[in-house]
Chain A
Amino acid sequence: MKNNRFVYTILTPIFICMIVFTLLPILIGLGISLFDYNPLAVSSPFIGLENFKKLASDGVFLIALKNTVIFVLVTVSLNIVLALLIAQAISSMRSNRTRSFTRMIFFMPIVAPLAASSLVWKVMYANKYGLFNNILGHLGLPAHNWLGDPAWLLPSIILFTLWADIGYNIIIFSAGMDGIPHDFIEAAAIDGAGPVRRFFFITLPLLGRTTAFIVTMTLISHFQMFAQFEIMGRSAGSPGGGGPNNVGMVLTLEIYKEAFKYKNMGYASAIALVLFLIILIVTVISQRISRSDWRY
């Protein structure tokens, strides 16, 4: 009882912080979404669910929603599959030094701020003097307007995001693989299982919890990606990113533009709430699907 009192006393300040800095902003955001709140306006009338109704007919929001879903589905799937394969390849390396070096190489982009690497890649994607078009030119292939062509903008950002973000998952998968008792792999090998079968029937199932963690965290972080859409989709002199005619718009960028460029804070809060609900639902589903009730 005495111990419990101590625990409650210790935890109370932390909960106060969580309420003030996490729960309250969410509730205030929910409240604001019910008002036509523009901080520059003289009054902010209560409009109920009007902001949410407006979403259904807002072309830019629908583009942003579609782009966000496509971006998350493609990037998260590719990220996890590639990270898993690369981690397996790294784990198969015999030399500890080579393993560490390879992990370091893949982890390096994580160290750079996303905004900075977005700028560097933007230069590489440039139409006339960019690295990619120069390579295509040397190969005798036609150049692409990577960030200007609606068909290429999202794939270009996806490619960049994979490069920038995959290292983290490789490290986690590698750690997970290192934690699998070697006995299981050896036993399977003695039973005649080749490397592919060992990967699919031993390594992959035993990485269940690691995979669940990675899927959840990658989903959440990718739904919240912002910097590359703002930087790569912005033209010189323009007031904001999102690409020509908003073809590269995503929900986070739409929230930012509505709130801080157009000062529609109420509407931006409504979009933020939709994004919050999407992330919540997707996270719960992914947790349910990847639930495992075993341990080794």
Chain B
Amino acid sequence: MKRKLICLLLAFMLPGLLLTGCQKSQTTKGKVSDGETITLKYWTHLETPWNVSNDKLIAAFEEEYPDIKIEVEAYPYDDFEQKVQTSLLSKSGGADIYELWGGWAYEFAPTGVFSPVPDELLNDLLDDCYEPVLGAFEHDGAYYGVPMEFNAEYGGMLVNKPYFDEHNLSYPDTWDEMISLATKNSVSKGDIFDMRGFDFISFDSLPYTWLSMILSSGGTYLEGDTFNFDTPIAKETLKKLVDYVKVNKVTNIEGLSGSDIENFHWLFLDQALMVPRGIWSIPVGEEEFDITYGEEFDYVPMPFYGTEKRWAAETGWGLAVNSGSANTEAAWKFISFCLRPENLVQLNIDRGMIPPRKSVAHDPAYVKAVPYSKPILDVLDGASFVGPINTDVLKESICNMYADIIQNDTPIDAAVLKLNQDIQ
């Protein structure tokens, strides 16, 4: 009898325990810890320069606002979007303040999960922010997040300084010079490269190089909010990019095909001559490869393909406030603090990024502290918002199309038509 009772007890405890695990979690958003202090939860992605700069900024904020505490939780980049998405959609748990990639914000903005930017702050930003960084946070005239940086993936390129010096070469001033240099100096045996002359193959570089080639040629790929690549300029520029791999052999498509080594890594490994990347790659190179800007590599202006200095710009990391937070006012107070020019300058110096505000980007303190930003700063006014789309989807579709052309000899006409379908 006693054994039966124990069995019964255990049998009912099992589902009981399992179902307990399914209950809605207690939200920790907008916690008021001791009746006076508000604790805000802030989710960010894991990346040393970002996390260090956040810690500095939070310490300064907490000193100025002793009644507000910021609790930071950092997650690996690969899991971060999904984590943010799940927490926002389940409307439980999660954070008060989210770090958000502009390219994702486009999908979240219409759902009402974020609190609109307060008018006072918005008016300030609308006058002073570059269009590409703010565009992704907009929906139906309202804005649901603010940019903290301008992540330009075009406009400048990393160059292998020792190679240029040893071979008595000058940095290219025109597109044709750049391709000619790349072609002459590329060294490969079959599919294995010892020197990539111009490695534009990566999930960021390829799409932004192509889009910027279209824009600088006076073309466009956007008709209203619709993407259209079935245009003579889009096809002509795509053909050039295909030829650079198949005919000029300045690189291969390893960067799109299962490699853990990105194009800028090759340059830091002394196996690439020129690589178009954002300036964020510079602190990464200095930290991970123990090489020095100005000695082992340089960052120089990237020539434009066409005659116009127009280019397509990535969005960048921004901040947004959970509309379900009990302390949206305190959360916006923190964000406003981050956006103060003196704080934004320091934040972007620490991260090695371009500031999203015009007034801050050209601040002499910033220019002095981040000298390699100059090539991008000089062309910032020519940047266009990439378009209303999740940028991951756009980049993946373009890279898939490119791999298809290179590997299967798919005609360019058919490839761009399929691309149009894929991203609608």
Residues of A whose CB lies within 8 Å of any CB of B are 6, 9-14, 16-17, 20-21, 39-42, 122-123, 125-128, 133, 142-150, 153, 232-240, 243-247, 260-263
Contact = CB atoms under 8 A, between A and B. Distances in A.
A40 to B, nearest CB: 5
B257 interface: yes
B306 interface: no
B4 interface: yes
Contact of B262 (A145, A237, A245, A263): A237
Interface in B377-424: 392-393, 395-396, 399-401, 403-404, 407-408
Contact of B258 (A14, A39, A232): A232
Nearest to A260: B82
Interface in B32-59: none
A10 B253 contact: no
A237 B258 contact: no
Contacts of A39: 85, 89
A262 B393 contact: yes
Contacts of B392: 239, 261
B190 to A, nearest CB: 6
B258 A235 contact: yes
Contacts of B89: 39-40
B14 A9 contact: no
A244 B399 CA distance: 8
A10 B11 contact: yes
Contacts of B16: 13
A237 B262 CA distance: 8
Given A236-B261, A263-B107, A10 B8 contact: yes
Contact of A240 (B107, B193, B257, B396): B396
A42 B15 contact: no
B254 interface: yes
A13 B11 contact: yes
Q: How large is the interface on B (under 10, 10 to 19, 20 to 34, 35 or more residues)?
A: 35 or more
25 contacts: A6-B4, A9-B8, A10-B11, A12-B11, A13-B15, A14-B15, A16-B15, A20-B19, A126-B259, A126-B260, A126-B261, A127-B259, A128-B192, A133-B192, A145-B257, A148-B258, A232-B258, A235-B255, A235-B256, A236-B261, A236-B265, A237-B204, A244-B253, A245-B408, A260-B82
Contacts of A243: 257-258
Contacts of B7: 10
Contacts of B255: 235-236
Contacts of A128: 192-193, 261
B14 A42 contact: no
B98 interface: no
B212 interface: no
Interface of B: 4, 7-8, 11-12, 14-16, 18-19, 22, 82, 85, 89, 107-108, 110-111, 190-193, 202-204, 252-262, 265, 392-393, 395-396, 399-401, 403-404, 407-408
Contacts of B404: 245
A17 B399 contact: no
**What DSSP secondary structure best describes chain A's contact surface?**
loop
B390 to A, nearest CB: 8
Contacts of A14: 11, 14-15
A40 B111 contact: yes
B108 A40 contact: yes
Given A21-B18, A143-B192, A260-B82, A238 B254 contact: no
Contacts of B253: 148, 244
B252 to A, nearest CB: 8
Given A239-B392, A246-B400, A260-B82, A145 B191 contact: yes
A17 B400 contact: no
Contacts of B265: 236
B400 A244 contact: yes
Given A40-B107, A42-B110, A145-B254, A150 B407 contact: yes
Contacts of B204: 237
A66 to B, nearest CB: 15
Contacts of A6: 4
Most buried by B among A17, A238, A240: A238
A279 to B, nearest CB: 25
Contacts of A9: 8, 11
A72 B20 CA distance: 38
A22 to B, nearest CB: 12
A245 B261 contact: no
A122 B404 CA distance: 22
Contacts of B22: 20
Most buried by A among B202, B259, B407: B259
A236 to B, nearest CB: 5
A133 B203 CA distance: 25
B203 A147 contact: no
A11 B15 CA distance: 11
B207 to A, nearest CB: 11
A46 to B, nearest CB: 20
A12 B265 CA distance: 59
A238 B110 contact: no
A17 B16 CA distance: 9
